[in-house]
A and B are shown apart, each in its own frame.
Chain A
């Protein structure tokens, strides 16, 4: 049980915090709690948690500001919990460095699923040093050869699709916003770019997921895309 990560729960609402901590306890996670932004930063810096669950609506500090502060010294995964349904908040948090988000109301299973996904990603980044081959389920990318394989069979990708695949692979498990992706690929973000990004993603996904049940690329409507870490 020692490989279970330490989780920092930052949430001001008592019942939601109870819900999360009970869930974590029943699933044998170790956890710390903080009720406001300042406490969160102190806990994060003193106990070095592995994952942070951060509520965006804290009484004393804007959630995005906390993310930015934590990012100055730590690369730990941050999962944002947002009660606001507007996409712009999530996008802002993701662009500030958050890895993932959950919208209230969320189900317990969803929360646990996100934690598991983040853990998997952690294990990859901790063990995998700069390797020339990327492996995710039956998908592999040979950076040196510039080729992608599915079950050892080469997939024929256009240069743009390959670029996107590499970008997603480099950030596996992390939700990448449209702005982030178009910025990386085209260098700027125009309305047309987001639309073409959708098309390229759709074709790329068809090539990766046709004929199999495995989902590699997850779409977040209005927000962006994420490559899932497959067992």
Chain B
């Protein structure tokens, strides 16, 4: 069995441990991967290898890239799941990943700690420990320490140099000249001095990262060279005929060098910029995957767009088939979001929407509207219209393509969410449908019997009224009346069932007097109760409970009806209510034959009817108790069945007690 397979099997049986190895291009990274793999084997946990891509990763050397690929392959072969994420801040990204993937152990290289800015040296571990206290962190030492690469970090382009940049330039100019004098002292040739100035140009270009600085330096160095080092000294004149050529070449070379150094830095900046934008898109992708509502999708989309474009964004969501009210997402620097909400802008958006002029993928702009309008849509459904403030400068092509892809991603995310919701709805509907179908099947069966009796008896009376004696007529009429009474109580229960919608019961909770509700409910109890004695016991206290009075009376009616139905004539049924801490316990007890233990669980099942000799099977719907249970559950209570002493059973349920503030004013 290979390690990979073993890991996979272990993963399935043990999901408690989740080990994360941080990948890098460093040669010592193999050690990290192996350690993590061994750990995952030992603990039998899941193994993930994470590589955090930064904007700098784009400029990785070939050697490093190859090494990174080897490392990734190694991790894969050891059974790791490879994850690649994009971020500026490696530490933050690792922390985020640890949190989201429920990582329990992190194996990290020492060199990784130094990635990022020098000042954050130890913060990855610190942050990790802080963010997930249960996390184990294993640090693998590494002899190779990367140097701080601050030089190319940022490059302020063609800006007018700052004082500090000027100071650097003058200092280097001074040093180069001083070195020139030193060379002169040792009778070195002038070529050496020229080289020193060249070096100076390079250093200035690198340090100041300013084109103007290096240009000025080039010019100044030629002048200084002329002034100090050519005959006649301390004048701008030259005797030797070759010098002007030297000056020109010197100027050209130094300018070229400065330009080259600047260009290198500029391209670093450009690729960083590209990476930043790509990163925004990928971040959007990542964030969108985690969303669970349309609002969140729209918010993330807007946030990423504002980040990407640094422009104000306005979003019109769709309400049904109409455009909703616009919502502005301003940039941090503010601007004038009100302009985006002006009537003319809203009119433009509405016009575009109504005329379906939102099909152009590159956005639509009408006359002098403040925004370019894009649509968030899938094949045939539009979800919202996004306006991007145009201001003075048009959207760059690259920005635009990223903008469009973010919009596309958002549209897909919204569509997915809608599909999921639709599916859930359908499942729920199917479940409810099944419940109802079951119910209807049972009920229609149960309805037939009394209906047959009623219609048959009535027909008999109609056809043979004169042939029947008074006694028979009375008996037939009594049967009709009894059966219709039973139908009435069935309909009452059905009405309660009809309030179960979407898997939940709609209840109106209010503070009710318990004895009032019980007294009222007992009035509706089956008329056959004459053969049974019903006792009530509410104590002396006025008990108020939070309930839906109608549903709770239905519960009491069903419980008492059941007690009447399943106990021999002459039994005593006690309905009582007593407080118990924050709750009120209402119970219906009888002194009948009780319910055998093995049937206790069964009675709550829908349509169950016990094999009780007393109950007339035709009349026990088996719906009652399960309905009672769902009503009580909807009240956050519990319906329980216990034995009564010496015999019989007690059905009791709890309701939340309610306090009332009485004012005599």
Q: How near does chain B come to A16, taking the closest CB pair, in angstroms? A: 14
Partner among A158, A202, A222 whose Cβ is within 8 Å of the Cβ of B664:
A158
Q: How near does chain B come to A231, taking the closest CB pair, in angstroms? A: 21
Interface size on A, residues (CB 8 A): 19
A195 touches B542 (CB 8 A): no
Q: Which residues of B contact A222 (CB under 8 A)?
A: 549-550
A198 touches B512 (CB 8 A): yes
B664 touches A85 (CB 8 A): no
Q: Which residues of A contact B491 (CB under 8 A)?
A: 105
A221 is an interface residue with CB less than 8 A from chain B: yes
A199 touches B663 (CB 8 A): no
B544 touches A195 (CB 8 A): yes
A196 is an interface residue with CB less than 8 A from chain B: yes
A221 touches B549 (CB 8 A): yes
A195 touches B495 (CB 8 A): no
B662 touches A200 (CB 8 A): yes
Partner among A105, A159, A199, A219 whose Cβ is within 8 Å of the Cβ of B542:
A199
Q: How near does chain B come to A117, taking the closest CB pair, in angstroms? A: 16
B516 touches A219 (CB 8 A): yes
B520 touches A194 (CB 8 A): no
Q: Which residues of A contact B544 (CB under 8 A)?
A: 195, 198-199
Given contacts A85-B495, A195-B658, A198-B513, contact A159 B553 (CB under 8 A): no
B520 touches A219 (CB 8 A): yes
Partner among B492, B516, B550, B664 whose Cβ is within 8 Å of the Cβ of A198:
B516
Q: How far is the CA of A19 from the CA of B662 in the complex (A)?
A: 47
**Interface positions of A from 68 to 90, Cβ below 8 Å from B:** 85, 87
A45 is an interface residue with CB less than 8 A from chain B: no
Given contacts A195-B510, A203-B542, contact A221 B662 (CB under 8 A): no
Q: How near does chain B come to A86, taking the closest CB pair, in angstroms? A: 9
**Interface positions of B from 624 to 665, Cβ below 8 Å from A:** 658, 660-664
Q: Which residues of A contact B520 (CB under 8 A)?
A: 219, 221
Q: Which residues of B contact A202 (CB under 8 A)?
A: 513, 515-516, 542
B488 touches A105 (CB 8 A): yes
Interface size on B, residues (CB 8 A): 25
A61 is an interface residue with CB less than 8 A from chain B: no
B660 touches A196 (CB 8 A): yes
B510 touches A191 (CB 8 A): yes
Q: How near does chain B come to A188, taking the closest CB pair, in angstroms? A: 13
Q: How far is the CA of A219 from the CA of B491 in the complex (A)?
A: 23
Partner among A191, A200, A221 whose Cβ is within 8 Å of the Cβ of B516:
A221
A199 touches B510 (CB 8 A): no
Q: Which residues of B contact A87 (CB under 8 A)?
A: 550
B512 touches A192 (CB 8 A): no
A112 is an interface residue with CB less than 8 A from chain B: no
Contact with B along A194-231 (1 / 0, CB 8 A): 11101110110000000000000001011000000000
**Interface positions of A from 158 to 213, Cβ below 8 Å from B:** 158-160, 191-192, 194-196, 198-200, 202-203
Residue of A nearest to B521 (CB): A221
Q: How far is the CA of A159 from the CA of B517 in the complex (A)?
A: 26
**Interface positions of B from 533 to 563, Cβ below 8 Å from A:** 542, 544, 549-550, 553
Q: Which residues of B contact A195 (CB under 8 A)?
A: 510-511, 544, 658, 660
Q: How far is the CA of A194 from the CA of B549 in the complex (A)?
A: 13
Residue of B nearest to A195 (CB): B511
Q: Which residues of A contact B484 (CB under 8 A)?
A: 105
Partner among B488, B495, B515, B662 whose Cβ is within 8 Å of the Cβ of A196:
B662
Q: Which residues of B contact A196 (CB under 8 A)?
A: 660-663
Q: How far is the CA of A105 from the CA of B513 in the complex (A)?
A: 26
Q: How near does chain B come to A15, taking the closest CB pair, in angstroms? A: 12
Q: Which residues of A contact B662 (CB under 8 A)?
A: 196, 199-200
Residue of A nearest to B662 (CB): A196
Q: How near does chain B come to A228, taking the closest CB pair, in angstroms? A: 14
Q: How near does chain A come to B41, taking the closest CB pair, in angstroms? A: 62
Q: How near does chain B come to A46, taking the closest CB pair, in angstroms? A: 37
Q: Which residues of A contact B510 (CB under 8 A)?
A: 191, 194-195
Residue of B nearest to A194 (CB): B510
Partner among B495, B512, B519, B664 whose Cβ is within 8 Å of the Cβ of A159:
B664
B513 touches A192 (CB 8 A): no
Q: How near does chain A come to B575, taking the closest CB pair, in angstroms? A: 16
Contact with B along A123-134 (1 / 0, CB 8 A): 000000000000
Given contacts A198-B516, A199-B544, contact A192 B550 (CB under 8 A): no
Q: Which residues of B contact A198 (CB under 8 A)?
A: 511-513, 516, 544, 660
Contact with B along A5-24 (1 / 0, CB 8 A): 00000000000000000000
A221 touches B664 (CB 8 A): no
Partner among B488, B492, B550 whose Cβ is within 8 Å of the Cβ of A221:
B550
Q: Which residues of A contact B549 (CB under 8 A)?
A: 221-222
Contact with B along A87-112 (1 / 0, CB 8 A): 10000000000000000010000000
Q: Which residues of A contact B512 (CB under 8 A)?
A: 198, 221
Q: How near does chain B come to A178, taking the closest CB pair, in angstroms? A: 9
Q: Which residues of B contact A191 (CB under 8 A)?
A: 510-511
Q: How far is the CA of A221 from the CA of B658 in the complex (A)?
A: 17
Given contacts A222-B549, A222-B550, contact A199 B664 (CB under 8 A): no
A221 touches B660 (CB 8 A): no
Q: How far is the CA of A199 from the CA of B544 in the complex (A)?
A: 8
Q: Which residues of A contact B516 (CB under 8 A)?
A: 198, 202, 219, 221
Q: Which residues of A contact B511 (CB under 8 A)?
A: 191, 194-195, 198
Partner among A85, A105, A194, A221 whose Cβ is within 8 Å of the Cβ of B553:
A221
Q: Which residues of B contact A85 (CB under 8 A)?
A: 492, 495
Q: How far is the CA of A199 from the CA of B519 in the complex (A)?
A: 15
Q: Which residues of B contact A200 (CB under 8 A)?
A: 662
Q: How near does chain A come to B136, taking the closest CB pair, in angstroms? A: 53
Q: How near does chain A come to B352, taking the closest CB pair, in angstroms? A: 44
Partner among A159, A160, A192 whose Cβ is within 8 Å of the Cβ of B660:
A192
Contact with A along B501-518 (1 / 0, CB 8 A): 000000000111101110
Q: How far is the CA of A219 from the CA of B514 in the complex (A)?
A: 12
Residue of B nearest to A159 (CB): B664
6 contacts between A and B (CB under 8 A): A158-B664, A194-B511, A202-B542, A203-B542, A219-B519, A222-B550
Extra A-B contacts (18), CB below 8 Å, given A196-B662, A222-B550: A85-B492, A105-B488, A159-B664, A191-B510, A191-B511, A192-B661, A195-B658, A198-B516, A198-B544, A199-B660, A199-B662, A202-B513, A202-B516, A203-B542, A219-B519, A221-B516, A221-B517, A221-B553
Q: Show the binding face of A for B, using Cβ within 8 Å.
A: 85, 87, 105, 158-160, 191-192, 194-196, 198-200, 202-203, 219, 221-222
Q: Show the binding face of B for A, using Cβ within 8 Å.
A: 484, 488, 491-492, 495, 510-513, 515-517, 519-520, 542, 544, 549-550, 553, 658, 660-664
Chain A to chain B: the 4 pairs with minimum beta-carbon distance, closest first? A195-B511, A195-B660, A221-B549, A221-B520
